[in-house]
Amino acid sequence: MNNEVIVLFGAGSIGEAIVRRVAAGRNLLLADYNEDKLAEMKQHLTEAGFTVETIKADLSSRVSIKEVVAKAQSLGDIMGLVNAAGVSPSQASLEQVLKVDLYGTSVLLEEFGKVMAPGGAGIVISSQSGHRLPALSQEDNQALAMTPTEELLDLPVLKINVKDSLAAYQYAKRTNVLRVAAESVKWQLRGARINAISPGIIMTPLAVDELNGPRGAGYKKMFDSMVTKRPGTPDEIANLAELLMDRRGAFITGSDFLVDGGITAQYWYGNVSEVRNSGAQK
């Protein structure tokens, strides 16, 4: 396995939990825009016995993504890709959300789809927020899934409907799922698989900030309505990701898995006002 490579975009809690399950005995390449986060995660994982390389990367740039691809290829056969990178609508502009979360993820799927090794698998961490949109028309679904990447941001469905960063985030995450399905067709030609996971509220540093912020009380009421009575953990997302990236998940590709403690079901079919009013994205 020493010639096998796992690539992680996004040096955060969910990504780290996933690679701890799938990167042992393999070369692990960490990519993030924040060099301090890269250094910190490299230290944690190196001390835990992993073989780690890092590269500064900008998910909104095709040039930068291609540099990550080249670096990964220099380390061996690319057997795994985990995209846990992105920006939050509470911390980024409409334009940044679309450029990173929608365009960047689409480029990542495209470029890595050209180089994945046979038997390889990838995971895109999307969000429950993409499931908060009403059903789109078949025409819009097809456009978001199939439009050439460099033309994506000019689609009428985005120009007309995206008026703020939250809407940008919702459309980006819906598009992530659609692009995963569409790109999986191309990945299959290489004998590789790609799936998406749409987490609900997961205890990450960003979530802690939200819980301690002005909407914290609403979140806590929302948790009380859930079967778990609590938010999720990165390890719970990683449990599913491990299955999807393992040979045990060999029959699964082009799919999206909503893992949110039942909150989306409550949003559409329940009567919990905190769910509708919280503005929770992840």
Q: Catalytic residue at 42?
A: no
Helix/strand/coil for 86: coil
Is-catalytic flag, 66? no
For tokens 């045990």, name the residue. 248
Give the closest residue to 279 by CA, choosing from 167, 175, 198.
167
Give the tokens for residue 267.
Answer: 């949003």
Q: How far apart are CA 12 and CA 129, in angstroms?
A: 19
CA 282 vs. chain centroid, Å, equals 11
Q: Which one from 33, 99, 103, 169 is the annotated catalytic residue?
A: 169
Catalytic choice (173, 219, 267, 282) = 173
Which strands, in side-by-side order, build the sheet including 193-199? 51-56, 27-32, 4-9, 77-83, 121-125, 193-199, 256-259
Residue 216 CB neighbours (<10 A)? 14
For the record, the structure tokens of 157 come out as 């469905």
Which residues are identified as catalytic?
169, 173
